[in-house]
Chains A and B, each alone.
Chain A
């Protein structure tokens, strides 16, 4: 009957793409300056971060879990990077490697404790969120690192493509491609998804589920640390409160992007490009509402409503079984 309609049209991502276009149209007509070079550049800097945060949450949602420590972890890694560069004088490239390793290590702690105790990652990461953030505040005495190397902060304010796009966005999009490749074309990616979909069946099929879950948490830590570095470059300083208290400011976009994108909360299905589109949609709405000048509280109100809607969508998806491919 409907095999003339290309499969892509029936996917969740296509719906998202339409929504993104609709919102772009609405905001272009209803606000001044939405399409201005300045605003698009600002958008690209924000969306880059939202994508990265969304991906960091997505890889843990894949296991059927959550990573509430995402923001605290990202900021801790960023502060560690600031300390490396400012206090220790470690070169930028080495610092980035150290920060990513540090983020992966914090993610490993999340994963290890989750797997070993069998407690839901919701509880584990709720605890580590507090621990990471508390420890970080203690060590830095809540002081920021503001004297970062110029080469580093310049990168954050670099403007590409006729000064429309931030290089940070390119990093995020590249990360999407790498993750897509991992999930679609590698043995390990397939195993991560299988373990998330049905741990018992995966274990009995010869997959070490515990190890896969730990990998997911490490990947989450890695991506959160990368987001932390990107935010530091964007602001030009590493500030303890840059993701809000306990990193709360990251949580809403972190959930919204993957859930809007079509990642199943019960695990076993990832949508890398869906998450990207989800992040773009969230950033657009956020930005557009500010331009319309509805006020901070209304923005939060709308984002909350969208999250609830997205969760309902997630339920519906589970009912009408997942007919799309596992990785998209």
Chain B
């Protein structure tokens, strides 16, 4: 089977309490572009980390050019010709392009000092292969995002990589940049004998560029090296989520002529938001869609008083308010924020379930002289923890020992307990299993039906179209479009993408 440059057979990887990969197979043909798909938590990133030597598998074998290999470090994988281009840039921003490209093997002159002429010459060679018109002496931070991405690919090539793993390479690229990138990838495959593993959530791109597809679901293969020509969008989604794509329609009629509950008027912020106008009705789920870096989370943080609003005003029930801090938002205006980053901002991982679920209500529950015991907190939060079906052995369990889905439920539970009127919900289902995900979707709809007004940030288009009543599109810290959601995937997604790309 010399067809395959990389072959992973029956890979199993266990983490404490979770089987991240269960007998998974992955075969990469020489000179092909292979899509690796799956929902968050399906095992994609674990598989990539095994390929790149970050993890070792518990069972199964890895063959490179038909030779069994086992990498004990990312460095070994890199030396064997496997490079990853991450979503986050791995370039050193204050170094020049040339220095970054040659970083692992900087040429030296007779005195042992760096020979900058050779650096420029050598790196120019790789930039030329990619037909990139960049001066090797340019400082990386002066490049556009798209150029940085391309430099990273150049860096991978300079390491004589034969296998490139691209992790969501287009998430921050414009359509034109994406097109250029794809043309380049096709050329690399044809001319440089490179094989590519392509990870993306954008199925349109998979159909455009990939030859074969492997889908993971719950750590197992939902399909293995399927020809792209045998698939269509519906089939692919079904493989990924295990059932047909459901668009839950929230059965409610928002009267968009109602008074605004929350109204942002011509907001300009320190972070660069320009003239943001948006409003939220009572009981509405307002979606904020945009690419990574569109400034959605940042906008919410400015509203919460964490960063400065330079001009414009915020109205609550038509009265101007000034929110100085999240404490202010919670205690004075009953506004809460469920963070996208539950590990860093949502939860206190080293503390137990009870103190995490109760943190927002301590102030309200305290008795005379600030007295507060576990019983009082427990009585308050228990109904919400039960309602969300959090699976934990006890309230004394340290949160970091729980699964991602249960952690997320706790970071939601604490805001339910706080009884806020307005909730900002940021990427509520990143990295959690499908069951919890649909559970949270139902919960968000239920909340809004009971009168909580919600601003929902999500980069998951189906999620957005299932849940939102109205969708605001943001790009480059500006609002670029507003659409009333009719819950039809095709119509809404093309209308949103049009907003973004015009």
Contact = CB atoms under 8 A, between A and B. Distances in A.
Contacts of A201: 339, 344-348
B400 interface: yes
Nearest to A191: B362
A202 B337 CA distance: 12
A186 B352 CA distance: 17
Interface string B379-409: 0000000000000000010101100000000
A205 B414 contact: yes
Contacts of A191: 362
Which size class do A's interface residues fall under?
20 to 34
Contacts of A204: 304, 326, 337, 339, 345-346
Contacts of B304: 204
A200 B348 CA distance: 9
A311 B345 CA distance: 27
B345 A187 contact: no
A269 interface: yes
Interface string A252-285: 0000000000000000110000000000000000
Interface in A170-210: 184-191, 193-194, 197-198, 200-208
Nearest to B329: A206
A184 B371 CA distance: 9
Contacts of A185: 371-373
Contacts of B372: 185-187, 190
B412 to A, nearest CB: 13
A190 B377 CA distance: 11
Interface string A202-222: 111111100000000000000
B263 to A, nearest CB: 22
A321 interface: yes
B326 A326 contact: no
A322 interface: yes
Contacts of B330: 205-206
A50 B426 CA distance: 48
B325 A208 contact: yes
Given A186-B372, A206-B360, A325-B396, A197 B350 contact: yes
A323 B363 contact: no
7 contacts: A186-B366, A187-B362, A187-B372, A197-B348, A198-B347, A202-B359, A326-B352
A203 B350 contact: no
A179 to B, nearest CB: 14
B400 A321 contact: yes
A206 B327 contact: yes
Given A187-B370, A205-B359, 10 more contacts: A194-B359, A198-B349, A198-B350, A203-B326, A205-B360, A206-B326, A206-B330, A206-B331, A206-B363, A207-B359
A206, A207, A208 — most chain B CB neighbours (10 Å): A206
Shortest 4 CB-CB distances between A and B: which pairs? A206-B330, A187-B366, A186-B370, A198-B348
A197 B359 CA distance: 13
B214 interface: no
Contacts of B365: 187
Contacts of A188: 370
B345, B347, B396 — most chain A CB neighbours (10 Å): B345
B369 interface: yes
B348 A186 contact: no
A131 to B, nearest CB: 30
Which size class do B's interface residues fall under?
35 or more
Contact of A269 (B306, B325, B350, B366): B350
A193 B355 CA distance: 10
Interface in B53-71: none
Contacts of A200: 344-345
Given A203-B326, A204-B339, A207-B359, A186 B369 contact: yes
Contact of B348 (A202, A206, A325): A202
B252 interface: no
Contacts, number: 93
Contacts of A203: 306, 325-327
A190 B306 contact: no
B93 interface: no
Interface string B318-354: 0000000111011100001101000011111111100
B418 to A, nearest CB: 8
Contacts of A208: 325, 327
A321 B369 CA distance: 33
A187 B365 CA distance: 8
Contacts of B401: 321
A194 B348 contact: yes
Contact of A268 (B345, B350, B363): B350
Contacts of A325: 352, 396
B346 A321 contact: no
B383 to A, nearest CB: 19
A327 to B, nearest CB: 10
Contact of A321 (B347, B350, B355, B371): B350
A52 B339 CA distance: 39
A191 B358 CA distance: 11
A48 B337 CA distance: 46
A190 B304 CA distance: 23
Interface string A304-328: 0000000000000000011101100
B355 to A, nearest CB: 7
B346 to A, nearest CB: 6
Contacts of A190: 355, 359, 362, 372
Nearest to A267: B350
B350, B366, B372, B398 — most chain A CB neighbours (10 Å): B350
Nearest to B301: A204
Given A198-B348, A201-B347, A321 B398 contact: yes
A206 B336 CA distance: 8
A203 B330 CA distance: 11
B41 to A, nearest CB: 22
Interface string B170-189: 00000000000000000000
Contacts of B371: 185-187
Contacts of A189: 370
A200 to B, nearest CB: 5
Nearest to A200: B345
A187 B348 contact: no
A186 to B, nearest CB: 4
A105 B197 CA distance: 61
A186 B420 CA distance: 23
A188, A189, A190, A322 — most chain B CB neighbours (10 Å): A190
Contacts of A206: 326-327, 329-331, 336, 359-360, 363, 418
B304, B346, B362, B398 — most chain A CB neighbours (10 Å): B362
A326 B366 contact: no
A205 B360 CA distance: 6
A190 B356 CA distance: 11
A260 B352 CA distance: 23
Given A186-B370, A202-B359, A197 B351 contact: yes
A321 B350 CA distance: 7
A326 B349 CA distance: 12
Contacts of B355: 190, 193-194, 326
A123 B347 CA distance: 29
A193 B350 CA distance: 11
Contacts of B306: 203
A250 to B, nearest CB: 29
Contacts of A205: 326, 330, 359-360, 414
